[in-house]
A and B are shown apart, each in its own frame.
Chain A
């Protein structure tokens, strides 16, 4: 099966119906939703809507089966050892907070957690709060001049007190892909666990957590062509089993008496209350669709667009590209600054060209500080983007400069 861009784009209703055409290049914030996810959610709520795990009637059993099938689909997408390692959350942020609270409860004052300066705030602020609660030492992996996480610095940073290294799989600002193997090797040498924030990775194809050799993986559904309000924490089952609950309520307990409670085994222990059932089913559908795609072709397609974007930006006066300017070990996320022009003004003018671009600090203020900026423009490409989208952006930038200068 080869990749058919037009046919694929037609499977995204918002893009297919947009008139005039929408040049959607804000995929690092939220990708458009695939029709399989929309259809799966609609079908679920029309034909199988009931609460899960509890009811004995056939409708409730069908709902539970659909929810657990979604979990199995996530497990296949991640190549997890077992579906019981997959915890549904409301998004990557809640997955990361879950680890910071629950795994974090085992950490003591003086224990170390290492994050990088390239993290999204979602993989930084929870650790700062843990530092406030428990007195852990939070250390920072530096980034290179072009914004890549400098894994070589771990040699001097990770000590025997290091309990966790938490890094992004792919930067939401520069698109740089982290050398996870180097992170894992450094972590194992001091007995630390590894958490990877996969929010920017999953839209670019299936992930193999076993091959990565990591301990925790987090991502959101809305960034991989699925619904909002659903995310995933994957963790090794033995780790999950040793972790206390984060949120408490129905569905996560064993026995409850006035004196106390026992808790369910993972993953239910971490899914208190009624979960986002239809959204989980929608995510399962989106991931199943993703696993059928010809990723070699898609990567070549994305790289062609990336190359056109990088070359086009390099020709614009006053444009500075943040992060790597080559195609090595990166995804098609490109942030750039235009001298003297504020990103919000740039993005506002691009909107009249039908180009949806994000401007701001991208919830990565420490990385922005590294680049000496308050914010930047960011173009992030998904599999349904075309050269026409890139050309619309590059043409629009000429107008931006004319309007704002």
Chain B
């Protein structure tokens, strides 16, 4: 149901807008959009000694997309690329895996689980993660 989709945890994340705004000294950036719905994100990442030290993003999208970008803004600083890849994989499993085992997904991602039932909205939640992945695969991002 859409009420669960828009539970308080998701709305709070979107409202907090962690990491909102562009990074002045980014190691790499990625700009992605979802042509089907018009969600658009420009994401900057600053990497030092193999660790993400900061991310910034300009997100123009729905509440779910903004919540996902905010989740990254909170979780990514201090993490390695590999750790963020694991988070991305957990989100993918949460949304798409046939037999979902929620114990294999970190608690902070579980508010996104109602999105699982709304296939047309998967792209909204995944877009910021795809942008981070693309920025981190930029050779300049180290």
A-to-B contact residues, CB < 8 Å: 342-345, 348-349, 351-352, 360-361, 374-375, 403-404
For A348, the chain B residues whose CB sits under 8 A away are 2, 5-6, 118, 121
For A344, the chain B residues whose CB sits under 8 A away are 37, 62, 64, 121, 124
**B25 interface residue (CB < 8 Å to A):** no
For A374, the chain B residues whose CB sits under 8 A away are 38, 40, 60
**B11 interface residue (CB < 8 Å to A):** yes
B5, B36, B118: most-surrounded residue (chain A CB, <10 A):
B5
- Cross-chain contact B60 with A404 (CB below 8 angstroms): no
Interface residues of B toward A: which range?
A: 10 to 19
- Cross-chain contact A360 with B2 (CB below 8 angstroms): no
For B142, the chain A residues whose CB sits under 8 A away are none
CB within 8 A of A349: which of B2, B38, B61, B121?
Answer: B2
- Cross-chain contact B63 with A349 (CB below 8 angstroms): no
B95 to chain A, nearest CB (A): 15
For A343, the chain B residues whose CB sits under 8 A away are 62
A343, A344, A351, A360: most-surrounded residue (chain B CB, <10 A):
A344
- Cross-chain contact B6 with A360 (CB below 8 angstroms): no
For B124, the chain A residues whose CB sits under 8 A away are 344
Q: Provide 15 A-B residue pairs closer than 8 Å at the C-beta atoms, listed in order of the A residue.
A: A344-B62, A344-B64, A344-B121, A344-B124, A345-B63, A345-B64, A348-B2, A348-B5, A352-B1, A352-B2, A352-B3, A374-B40, A374-B60, A403-B6, A404-B63
For B2, the chain A residues whose CB sits under 8 A away are 348-349, 351-352, 403
B39 to chain A, nearest CB (A): 8
Residue of B nearest to A349 (CB): B2
Q: How far is the CA of A361 from the CA of B118 in the complex (A)?
A: 20
Residue of B nearest to A346 (CB): B62
- Cross-chain contact A342 with B63 (CB below 8 angstroms): yes
Q: How far is the CA of A117 from the CA of B86 in the complex (A)?
A: 45
Q: How far is the CA of A360 from the CA of B62 in the complex (A)?
A: 10
Residue of A nearest to B124 (CB): A344
- Cross-chain contact B38 with A404 (CB below 8 angstroms): no
Residue of A nearest to B5 (CB): A348
- Cross-chain contact B62 with A342 (CB below 8 angstroms): yes
For A360, the chain B residues whose CB sits under 8 A away are 36-38
For B1, the chain A residues whose CB sits under 8 A away are 352
Q: How far is the CA of A65 from the CA of B60 in the complex (A)?
A: 53
Q: How far is the CA of A361 from the CA of B35 in the complex (A)?
A: 10
B3, B6, B60, B62: most-surrounded residue (chain A CB, <10 A):
B62
A224 to chain B, nearest CB (A): 25
For A342, the chain B residues whose CB sits under 8 A away are 61-63
With A352-B1, A374-B60 known as contacts, the answer to whether A345 contacts B6 (CB < 8 A) is yes
A32 to chain B, nearest CB (A): 20
For A361, the chain B residues whose CB sits under 8 A away are 38
For A351, the chain B residues whose CB sits under 8 A away are 2
Residue of A nearest to B7 (CB): A403
B114-138 interface (Cβ within 8 A of A): 118, 121, 124
CB within 8 A of A403: which of B3, B61, B62, B121?
Answer: B3
Residue of A nearest to B40 (CB): A374
A344-B64, A345-B64 given; 6 more Cβ-contact pairs under 8 Å: A342-B62, A345-B62, A348-B6, A360-B38, A374-B40, A403-B6
A172 to chain B, nearest CB (A): 15
A348, A349, A351: most-surrounded residue (chain B CB, <10 A):
A348
CB within 8 A of B38: which of A345, A352, A375, A403?
Answer: A375
Q: How far is the CA of A352 from the CA of B118 in the complex (A)?
A: 12
Q: How far is the CA of A375 from the CA of B36 in the complex (A)?
A: 11
B114 to chain A, nearest CB (A): 11
A212 to chain B, nearest CB (A): 33
Residue of B nearest to A348 (CB): B2
A372 to chain B, nearest CB (A): 12
B17-48 interface (Cβ within 8 A of A): 36-38, 40
Residue of B nearest to A365 (CB): B38
A73 to chain B, nearest CB (A): 35
For B61, the chain A residues whose CB sits under 8 A away are 342
The 3 closest A-B pairs by CB, nearest first: A342-B62, A344-B62, A349-B2
Q: How far is the CA of A348 from the CA of B64 in the complex (A)?
A: 11
With A344-B37, A360-B38, A374-B60 known as contacts, the answer to whether A404 contacts B6 (CB < 8 A) is yes
B2, B3, B36: most-surrounded residue (chain A CB, <10 A):
B2
For B5, the chain A residues whose CB sits under 8 A away are 348
Q: How far is the CA of A345 from the CA of B63 in the complex (A)?
A: 7
A151 to chain B, nearest CB (A): 29
Residue of B nearest to A405 (CB): B11
Q: How far is the CA of A342 from the CA of B124 in the complex (A)?
A: 12
Q: How far is the CA of A361 from the CA of B33 in the complex (A)?
A: 13
- Cross-chain contact A404 with B11 (CB below 8 angstroms): yes
A58 to chain B, nearest CB (A): 47
Residue of B nearest to A368 (CB): B38
Q: How far is the CA of A344 from the CA of B1 in the complex (A)?
A: 15
For A345, the chain B residues whose CB sits under 8 A away are 6, 62-64
